[in-house]
Structure 1
Amino acid sequence: MTNSLSRRSLRTVGSEVFVLIASAFVYSLAFPGFINTTGFGWVAFFALIPMFMVIRNTTWKLVIPYGFFYGFVFYLFFNYWLKTFHPLAILLVPIIKGGEMIALFPALKLSQRFFKKYSYLVDAVIYVAYTYLSTNWFAGYPYGMLGSAIYRYLVLIQIAEITGIWGVTFLMVLPQTFLAFFLVERKKEFFSFIKEHLIPVIGYGILVLASIIYGIVGLAYWNGQTPDLTWRVATVQHSADTWKGGYTTYKNNFNNLRRLSLEALTRNPDIILWSETAFVPSVAWHENYPSDPNTRVLVDEFVAFGKSLPVPLVTGNPEGVIKNPDLPAFGADGEWNRMDYNTVIFFENGKIKDTYRKQHLVPFTEHFPYEKQLPWLYRLLLANDYNWWETGYESVVFTTDEGVRFSTPICFEDVFGYLNANFVRNGADVIVNMTNDGWSKAVSAQMQHLGLAVFRSIENRRTTVRGTNSGMTCVIDVNGKILDMMEPFKVGWKIYDVPVYTQESHGFTFYTRHIDLFAFVAIYLSYALLGFGLIRYVVTTIRKRR
């Protein structure tokens, strides 16, 4: 491949396409997947080099389709398990992620044109900015972020309490943009190239060394800290088949949950934790607008059980409420005048003490705000049995009578740094994730989720407890270490003695106080650099023409 060609031969295009496919496949191996359920994290330190090389070598006419192609192919490999959810999902997600990279690839190409010798530095900043922006819009999807691939390399990720996952991503991507630049240019020997870029290389070395030292010191510090109290949590993993519904299924699931909870009570827990939508019939709806006698009896039985327990119970349960207060619950056309929230119920002292409504809904499957703008897609989603939840807006903090303050991000809410930091800023001393990834029928899908959750504990220095339907049920300590994970897709319960670190004793981390600041700096710096580069390029071009 050569930079001098403005038109690409079929052979050159074929080789570039092959390199992109290979890079996407190798990059997918860095994460939990179909080959290894924990992932080969070390692969992420070099897997993107071929991608950056192709962007440097190819023409402007190809950079946009290459961006879409790379994103599409990577997420086909990475999210192979989405086919279990729905055939449409395995196409929809890669199309969306490919669409995002349509913006990334030209931005990187512009950087390389505008900044030449030091473009690799700008490339790394742009990549971090893209990573944040691609995860924080309506269809934002953090799975597959570069930094999350090394969730088990604890020394290297302790800086997340300052920079969030974005600083980890920057340190991983910069040497890859640098090596891609060298391999494409090859104007000098490697050591001569290093000498020419000695200041950036030394600067990067200092950052890496500082990160490692910070990680070692941070791990030692938190390992030496005594928790303010220990919270004894009983997690119940009933491993129900998410694809089955109906009264008989709900009844059997409740019986299993009740039996397992009563068994766990013999170990004297402080609280019992079920999973997301563990009990499906809506308590709020059926208590106020009963439609089926059997379901109403089941709801009453569940509520009576929750109230009768000697310790608090936390469980997921859809919250059905009246959609239009001027209309009856059931219309003459047989339709329900109802809307639903994905909700957590907190039982204590014989009553439902509080609830939390999910704030960050799964795009397309739980939430689609573009019914008017894209009616054809809205109808397609409805035709494929997708149902919408309403959005919650409060970062609720539950408080037990014993004084433990905790929040319950639902489903994939624990993969978003900002949301969990808001919980902690509101007073949560423990993060309790309640999720159900059982629909995927893949341990790798559940491990991808867990790998992202690790960063929430480090960013906020708060212990995470995960209560799941089928995995991965565990505790993540304040260092990001995964503790005592239950076997996935197996019915059972487990007692965790959860260390609680309160804000009164340990305060807030830099990240908690300045949520995603590193990412915002990368975004604004990217805009400024590309804007400056464009102005300089235009001015230089005009001068040359005079």
Structure 2
Amino acid sequence: MRIFILHSLYAIASGIMLSLILPSDLASNGVTLLAFVAIAPLLIATYRSCSYREILWISLLHGWTHAWVGRYWLAFFQNFGFTILIALSIGLSAVTFLALIAVKKTEYLPARHRVWAVTWIWVAFEYLRSTGFLADPWALLAYGFGQSQYMIQIIDMTGPMGLSFVAGLSNAIIAQRLTDPVKNDYRYLRWPIQIFAMTMILSSIYGAFRIHQSKKVLDRHTETAHILLVQQNLDSWDVSWPDLVDEHIRAVHGILPIEQPFDMIVSSETTLLGDFDSIMSMAHVLPTSYPLAKFIREMNTYHLFGSLSVDQEKYSYYNAAFLLNRTGEIAGKPYFKQQLVPFAEALPFSWIPAIAEKYRVFLGMPLLQQSGRESVLLNLPLQSGNSLTFGVPICFEDAFPRVSRKFVRQGAQALLNITNDSWSQRLSSQMQHMMIARYRAIETRRPLLRATNSGMTVHINPWGHIEQMIPAFQNSAMIVDLPVLETSEHTIYVLVGEWFSYIAILMALIYLLGNYNQSLSSLLSKVGKNSFRRASSSE
């Protein structure tokens, strides 16, 4: 019984540490070092578990702890926040259970192989849980490097999973060492430890090189876009769109007059909350204090608004971004959000008419939200006569690397995220979202601008450095002088995508098959013995 309780405490400890690698109420910037030890207690509990029932129990403890400690703010999500939080807890527990079953299956591998097998399994697990309809990319080991300046730069080659590998290897080494019966023999771990140390050193060297190179890249730019980012600090769920526009206008007027006119004013997600066409038909009279149409004309610049696009024929709507020209007309095609929040924005199989109708009747909702199918780029004419092409990931789409990759592959010179996190009512939520979004700038080597309702409105350069930021929960605006960089060069990650993740899946399968296949296991054992002998002879 004591062992069972101890394993339960290990699972809870891992859930807490994995949550704290991101910003939280306890550590506003997160604790980077926790990424190197966060899952070690969970692995130890799995190694020592006696049954699948026990693994299920520690998975439940870990999943629920991880969800409620790291993302308790989901409980504030409208009237069904607790439903989402409970669903997240169950989902995390389920996928963790599957991952730990795979980890447990490595118990018959030689110890020198198990470290590598568990590392690759965890990397594959983090990638797979970040894809598909139920994707949850939050609080991966990779995002424990938020405070890093140098190591994080490798993601322009490997994507986030490169960092998950480094942190996962550290955890696997610690877990294996603490559970191995041979307490006085470190030689079988020498090779993994050397690889870990070498990876840390080479990643830091590469990061220092890339950051040093950034100065030369910035010096080459010949064009600058002047963009005004607005933060209303008003919860769109509690007010109507005229109230949001009032706060939007107040923030803009708060920084006037200025010498340099701006090329575009950017609002947050769903500032125009409602059907865009209906809102624009009333824009000449609303808000009554300062009509939106009058504001657009007098500012004499382009505007980017978050709104909804309603398709009455299909009984559906889209979360959208609209670029308006100086006269208030739509410039180009709007972008429709593609990656929806499961069960909050997206319902399973809702694209099937018969099932969608059942949802409408059951939920009492005449319209259901649908996802976009196209990565539309927006083109902003600059006062110099040139233009800026950019993509607009909406809300938590900036937590998904593939969304930003598509924009950049199609020619985006910048990424401009619009977000509304005001419903969460917590600084930790705003900070977590920003820290995760920061990775997209580094992966693609494109500047990232974020215009949010309550935080964090920020300018992040292509090397992950925060250039400017508006404090959270403050009505304000800031002018960003955005260097327009050449788009002819793409990072390895943009060009090739999740190659490292696919290697992780392949290696995990090889090791798991090796656990069952005697000939393959024998081959792995021979490779391991040769590595062990080389490590021993080098002493």
Q: Distance in 2 between matches of 1:414 and 1:48?
A: 25
The amino acid of 2:241's aligned partner reads: Y
- Are positions 1:155 and 2:150 aligned together? yes
User: For each residue in 1:227-278, what CA deviation from the matched residue of structure 2 results, as whole angstroms up to 9, or x when unmatched?
Assistant: 3422211111111123314xxx322221221233345463322211101001
Q: Secondary structure at the match of 2:72?
A: coil
- Matching residue of 2:224: 230
Contact 2:319 2:337 in 1 (8 A): yes
TM-score (ref. length: structure 1): 0.86
Contact 1:160 1:458 in 2 (8 A): yes
- Matching residue of 1:48: 39
Of 460, 482, 486 in structure 2, the residue corresponding to residue 498 of structure 1 is 482
User: For each residue in 1:370-417, what CA deviation from the matched residue of structure 2 results, as whole angstroms up to 9, or x when unmatched?
Assistant: 4699989x8699659897411101111111122111111000001111
- How far residue 521 of structure 1 moved from its aligned partner, in angstroms, is 1.4
Q: Cα gap change, 1:28/1:229 in structure 2, threshold over 3 Å: closer, same or farther?
A: same
Contact 1:31 1:149 in 2 (8 A): yes
- Are positions 1:89 and 2:84 aligned together? yes
Contact 1:365 1:386 in 2 (8 A): no
Q: Which deviates more from structure 2 when the two are superposed, residues 41-50 or residues 446-455? A: 41-50
Q: Cα gap change, 1:53/1:468 in structure 2, threshold over 3 Å: closer, same or farther?
A: same
Unaligned runs of 5+ in 1: 1-9, 325-337, 541-546
- How far residue 154 of structure 1 moved from its aligned partner, in angstroms, is 1.4
- How far residue 65 of structure 1 moved from its aligned partner, in angstroms, is 3.0
The amino acid of 2:195's aligned partner reads: G
- How far residue 78 of structure 1 moved from its aligned partner, in angstroms, is 0.8
Q: Cα gap change, 1:244/1:538 in structure 2, threshold over 3 Å: closer, same or farther?
A: same
- Are positions 1:17 and 2:5 aligned together? no
Q: Distance in 2 between matches of 1:381 and 1:203?
A: 57
TM-score (ref. length: structure 2): 0.87
Matches within 5 A, 1:311-330: 311-324=301-314
- Matching residue of 2:507: 525
- Are positions 1:254 and 2:245 aligned together? yes
- How far residue 498 of structure 1 moved from its aligned partner, in angstroms, is 1.7
Matches within 5 A, 1:93-112: 93-112=88-107
Contact 1:365 1:388 in 2 (8 A): no
- Matching residue of 1:353: 331
Q: Distance in 2 between matches of 1:17 and 1:127?
A: 20
Contact 2:173 2:189 in 1 (8 A): no
Q: Distance in 1 between matches of 2:364 and 2:230?
A: 32
Contact 2:21 2:30 in 1 (8 A): yes
- Matching residue of 1:366: 345
User: For each residue in 1:74-102, what CA deviation from the matched residue of structure 2 results, as whole angstroms up to 9, or x when unmatched?
Assistant: 11111111111122122111111111112
Of 262, 267, 275 in structure 2, the residue corresponding to residue 282 of structure 1 is 275
Matches within 5 A, 1:101-500: 101-189=96-184, 192-193=185-186, 195-225=187-217, 226=219, 227-245=221-239, 249-264=240-255, 266-267=257-258, 268-285=261-278, 297-298=285-286, 301-303=291-293, 305-306=295-296, 309-324=299-314, 338-350=315-327, 351-354=329-332, 355-370=334-349, 383=363, 388-402=368-382, 403-500=387-484
Contact 2:515 2:521 in 1 (8 A): no
- How far residue 296 of structure 1 moved from its aligned partner, in angstroms, is 8.9
Q: Distance in 2 between matches of 1:424 and 1:170?
A: 25
Q: Secondary structure at the match of 1:224?
A: helix
Contact 2:413 2:446 in 1 (8 A): yes
Q: Distance in 2 between matches of 1:415 and 1:47?
A: 21
- Matching residue of 1:544: none
CA RMSD, Structure 1 to Structure 2 (Å): 2.7
Contact 2:224 2:484 in 1 (8 A): yes
Q: Cα gap change, 1:535/1:352 in structure 2, threshold over 3 Å: closer, same or farther?
A: same
Q: Distance in 2 between matches of 1:17 and 1:201?
A: 28
Q: Secondary structure at the match of 1:15?
A: helix
Q: Distance in 2 between matches of 1:296 and 1:102?
A: 56
User: For each residue in 1:491-527, what CA deviation from the matched residue of structure 2 results, as whole angstroms up to 9, or x when unmatched?
Assistant: 11111112222213xx000000011111121112222
Q: Cα gap change, 1:539/1:487 in structure 2, threshold over 3 Å: closer, same or farther?
A: closer
State the number of aligned residues: 504
The amino acid of 1:28's aligned partner reads: S
Q: Distance in 2 between matches of 1:162 and 1:381?
A: 48
Contact 1:474 1:484 in 2 (8 A): yes
Unaligned runs of 5+ in 2: 523-539
The amino acid of 2:418's aligned partner reads: M
Q: Identity over the aligned pairs, expressed in percent?
A: 25
User: For each residue in 1:438-473, what CA deviation from the matched residue of structure 2 results, as whole angstroms up to 9, or x when unmatched?
Assistant: 110011011111111111011010000000011000
Q: Cα gap change, 1:445/1:382 in structure 2, threshold over 3 Å: closer, same or farther?
A: farther
